[in-house]
Amino acid sequence: MPCGPPDGTMRRTLLLGAVALPLFTRPAAAADLVVFSSGGLNAAYLMLVPEFQRATGHGLTSIGASSMGAAPDAIPQRLARGEPADVLLLAEGGLAPLEARGFVRPGSRVDIARSLIGACVREGTPKPDISTPDAFRQTLLNAASIAYSASASGVYIENEMFRRLGIHDQVMPKARRILSERVAAVVARGEAELGFQQVSEIVTVPGIAYLGTIPEDVQKPTIFCAVVTANTRQPEAAQALIRFLASPEAASALRRTGLEPLARN
């Protein structure tokens, strides 16, 4: 049998295998990691958990937690109580306070995906117009009740977006910040007419109609990132997970949940 150089197809296969090897080779000893995952990344992350576990042998304990805020299950509150974690997946706006308090390993940040704010109503109800700033402003004024996240997107909506539209005082009395639950779930139950959150936290919830992203003039993109905690006992395994989430192999799951991957080769 000839032993010449591989043809083009085989060469591509060998190159791909060489690239993937550092990411997927099983370590000598498997680790068990605890991951605090913010809602914006959580749906995609959970899709990717089985693949990472099969490829590496590492075990993952996944805990949903908002990036910021005073809710008992928010990442800052969990860390302040001394709950153990190895990897944090969160909106970049929540990172600086954690770094200042020494909860994060310096230099470990990797950006995973970009997310936009979306809107939803209950399935089967009329779909209001949010296509332009003027139409969006009128939809907010017309809505009987509004729900928004207690995390990154909600902080922006309450503190900036309503003010930029000039309707803060009119809409705040009928607006409600949602703690420890998806906004879309509240809308699906009919407890709010109009809901806002990161797109990735809306599109996976049944019982709602997704209206699209809010207008660009009042939009605020959020970068979701991953970091290693300062107290992890498994830094190499933690870094392996982060590399996987930021890799091109993970991009499909990110896109399917409404995120824009920031993949690296």
pLDDT > 90 fraction of the chain, expressed in percent and rounded: 81
Q: What's residue 27's pLDDT? A: 58
Q: List, for residues 234-261, the tens digit of each pLDDT value.
A: 999 999 999 999 999 999 999 999 999 9
| 263 pLDDT tier (thresholds 50, 70, 90) | confident
Across the range 165-179, mean pLDDT stands at 97
Smallest CA-to-CA distance from 213 within 177, 259, 150, 251 is with 259
- pLDDT tens, position by position, 72-85: 999 999 999 999 99
Which candidate, 144, 154, 204, places its Cα nearest to that of 177?
A: 154
What's the mean pLDDT in 203-229?
96
Which residues, at least 6 apart from 181, have a Cβ–Cβ distance to it below 8 Å? none
Average pLDDT, the chain: 89
Taken in order of first residue, the domains within the chain and their CATH numbers are 31-114+222-261 (3.40.190.10), 117-218 (3.40.190.10)
- 86's tokens: 């190895």
- What was the pLDDT predicted at 186? 98
φ/ψ (deg, to 5) at 238: -60, -45
- The reported pLDDT for the residue numbered 71 is 86
For residues 10 and 118, give the distance between their C-alpha atoms in angstroms, rounded to a whole number. Answer: 44
In the prediction, which pLDDT does 174 show? 98
User: Which tens digits make up the pLDDT trace of 23-76?
Assistant: 455 555 789 999 999 988 999 999 999 999 999 999 999 999 989 888 899 999
